[in-house]
Structure 1
Amino acid sequence: MKPPVYLISACLAGQPVRYDGKAYQHQAIQQLIQQNRAITACPEMLGGLSCPREPAEIRGGTAEDVLAGRAQIMTAQNLDLSQAFIDGAYKTLALAQKNHIKIAVLKENSPSCGRNLIYDGSFSSRKIAGSGITAALLQLHGFQVISELEFFEYLNQRSAHFK
């Protein structure tokens, strides 16, 4: 059996693991999982956080700064969740390595999984360019990381090409 090609954020695969206990359901992702071409992971749950949980944002730097101990992932009530996010990122990295993943499809805007955008740390719904902890760690280890938006755009272009 061929190893799965994709690691996908669990919340994109219909698993209710988002901070607010919600999930997204995408038929294309479900098909990949059924075909054993994808595995799922929620770095925040792997890091020991509960669901639902308070929203958290990177404060005081970038994902790389959090990994280096120079910034934190905080809740609006100033609870530092950095270690749980870091632990989850490393567990996700180990899962990707063990399964010889080629591409990680991660949830945009998340302090764990954001690929291009994350919230700015002020809890004001403002987004800035940047990556989440898991996305940054996977990229540092040579994995291709894309957002679900990029993944769906790719699928749409591919299906249009075959029409």
Structure 2
Amino acid sequence: MRSKILVSACLMGFKVRYNAHDKPFVSDELDRLKHAGRLVIHCPELAAGLSTPRLPAELVGGDGEAALRGEAQILESNGCDVTPHYLLAAWLALRTAQQNGCKYALMTDASPTCGTDTRYDGTFSGTRIAGAGVAAALLSLHGIKVFNEKTLPQLLILLKAEEEEAQ
């Protein structure tokens, strides 16, 4: 069976980001995978009941793994602690990936939920630092390989190798 990929809904053109915008990532390869039924399009924040639009939120005190351990928080720009909502979002993303047999995830970098390589530093200044968001961290901890729009070529190489191995 071909591996499925959990994909951030905003990358597929859905206006689900905090500011009610999308972050479309146009790719012939993603389009091919979509038509082959290999993409599971999901927005963790909407699944957890967060609204669109919503206040921007950032990880404070650590990355996604730290938040999963209770050592960091996710705060909105007004200071409201929304950590429980974002932790629920992470667990719902994991459940969706597992229920659909996703071996990989393609997520939006810098998000407090989906960020893979970077996140905002918690000061709402637009400064990015290394670290994953809560869903990306949880997926990785459960063996799902997580990629972002910049690392799509690496994902495509893995998928091609799997297809060649299956033949």
TM-score, with length taken from structure 1: 0.89
- Matched residue, 1:21: 20
Give the Cα separation in 1 of the matches to 2:133 and 2:49: 17
Following TM superposition, by how much is the alpha carbon of 1:31 offset from its aligned partner in structure 2, in angstroms?
3.1
Q: Secondary structure at the match of 1:84?
A: helix
Runs of 4+ in structure 1 over 3 Å off: 152-156
In 1, the alpha carbon distance for the partners of 2:36 and 2:42 equals 17
| Residue of structure 2 in register with 1:115 after alignment | 116
Task: Report the CA distance between 1:152 and its aligned residue.
Answer: 4.6
Q: After TM superposition, give the deviation of residue 105 of structure 1 in Å.
A: 0.5
In 2, the alpha carbon distance for the partners of 1:5 and 1:102 equals 6
- What is the CA–CA distance in structure 1 between the aligned matches of 2:3 and 2:41, rounded to whole Å? 10
Distance 2:111 2:3 in 1: 23
Unmatched runs of 5 consecutive residues or more in structure 2: 160-167
Match of 1:149 in 2: 150
> Secondary structure at 1:65's aligned position in 2?
helix
Secondary structure class of the residue paired with 1:102? strand
Q: Show the 5 A alignment for 1:97-136.
A: 97-136=98-137
> What is the CA–CA distance in structure 1 between the aligned matches of 2:156 and 2:102, rounded to whole Å?
19
Paired amino acid for 1:31? R
Contact kept, 8 Å, 2:60 with 2:75, in 1: the verdict is yes
Q: Deviations over 1:43-102 (max 9, x none)?
A: 111111000111100001221121122211001100111111110110110111111111
The within-5 A match list for 1:61-100 is 61-100=62-101
CA-atom RMSD in angstroms: 2.0
Q: Mark the runs of 5 or more structure 1 residues left unpaired by the alignment.
A: 159-163
* SS class of match (2:150): helix
- How many residue pairs get aligned? The number is 157
- Tell me the TM-score normalised to structure 2 length: 0.87
Q: 2 CA distance for matches of 1:138 and 1:153? A: 17
The percentage of counterpart residues that share the same residue type is 39
Cα distance in structure 2, aligned partners of 1:79 and 1:18: 18
Mean Cα displacement is larger for which, 91-100 or 60-69?
60-69
